[in-house]
């Protein structure tokens, strides 16, 4: 008895190969698109954990230490609205009181009582210790960086996304950030900040999650210099309140009226 097998022709096999290849490519594209969307969502939600999106006010105490030097203590008041408009007021030391920074978008100016015109600054310039201007004035990772998921890790029993954030342009605070975020609740855990030449500049840890401004947030940040061992700045956040801040507050013309907001 003879058996007849239906063997596909060479042309049929070639067509099947094309279909399989196309399906594989489409599947890869879908995975990439899903990963990209997940990365953007994670960074955006972590931004919301760190700070409210609507108008708010918060006080930040910064203690900076360096081997062989005295403790440097400073206090700031932040007024912010929508991640794009921020005022940073110096409260302490008393000798610097009256100085303030205004950020609109990625444009930053410093206003000083004894200088008639504001001075333009960059977000990457050092403010105090290990803290750059942009660390206080602009904390909008989702708007300043293009994220991608590198991998996942488990730290102290918590699953973490590890993301690479690439600066959208040279005007942002850091060229690259490696960012650890908890999968369960989008709490930020750790960040590494890199220069344009891909040199590690500093490491930041997000600590002491407590209720602040209506939800649980990190109330302490520890920033360590990756180049100079022992140089550390500790930022403590307190007195966060939601605040209705009109757009006119964030103008050069309004900066001399800041005391009325106290």
**Residue 35 domain-assigned?**
no
**Residue 21 domain-assigned?**
no
Does the pLDDT of residue 2 top 50, yes or no?
no
**Residue 153 domain-assigned?**
yes
Does the pLDDT of residue 252 top 90, yes or no?
no
Q: Which range, of 31-40, 41-50, 78-87, 137-146, averages the lowest pLDDT?
A: 31-40
Predicted structure pTM score: 0.84
**Residue 11 domain-assigned?**
no
Q: How many residues does the chain have?
A: 262
pLDDT in tens, 12-38: 454 454 444 444 444 333 336 689 999
**Residue 32 domain-assigned?**
no
> How far is residue 129's CA from residue 136's CA, in Å, rounded to a whole number?
13
Is the backbone of residue 253 left (phi > 0), alpha (psi -120 to 50) or beta? alpha
**Residue 181 domain-assigned?**
yes
| Total count of domains within the chain | 1
**Residue 54 domain-assigned?**
yes
User: Any idea what DSSP says for residue 173?
Assistant: S
The CATH number linked to 123 is 2.50.20.10
> Residue 162: which domain range?
46-261
Task: Quote the pLDDT of residue 16.
Answer: 52
**Residue 191 domain-assigned?**
yes
């Amino acid at each position: 008895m003879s058996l007849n097998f239906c063997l596909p022709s060479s042309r049929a096999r070639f067509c099947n190969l094309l279909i399989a290849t196309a399906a594989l490519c489409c599947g890869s594209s879908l995975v990439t698109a899903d990963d990209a969307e997940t990365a953007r969502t994670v960074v955006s939600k972590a931004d919301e954990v760190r700070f409210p999106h609507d108008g708010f006010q918060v006080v930040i105490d910064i203690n900076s230490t360096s081997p062989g030097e005295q403790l440097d203590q400073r206090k700031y008041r932040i007024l912010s609205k929508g991640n794009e408009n921020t005022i940073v007021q110096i409260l302490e030391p008393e000798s610097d009181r009256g100085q303030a920074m205004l950020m609109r978008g990625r444009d930053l100016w410093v206003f000083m009582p004894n200088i008639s015109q504001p001075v333009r600054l960059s977000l990457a310039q050092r403010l105090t210790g290990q803290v750059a201007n942009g660390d206080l004035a602009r904390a909008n990772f989702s708007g300043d960086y293009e994220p991608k998921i590198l991998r996942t890790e488990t730290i102290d029993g918590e699953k973490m996304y590890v993301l690479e954030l690439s600066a959208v342009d040279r005007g942002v605070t850091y060229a690259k950030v490696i960012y650890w975020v908890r999968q369960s609740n989008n709490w930020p855990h750790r960040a590494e900040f890199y220069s344009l030449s891909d040199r590690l500049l500093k490491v930041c840890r997000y600590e002491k999650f407590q209720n602040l401004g209506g939800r649980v947030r990190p109330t302490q940040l520890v920033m360590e210099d990756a180049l100079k061992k022992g140089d550390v700045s500790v930022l403590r956040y307190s007195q966060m309140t939601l605040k209705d801040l009109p757009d006119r507050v964030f103008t050069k013309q309004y900066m001399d009226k800041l005391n009325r907001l106290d």
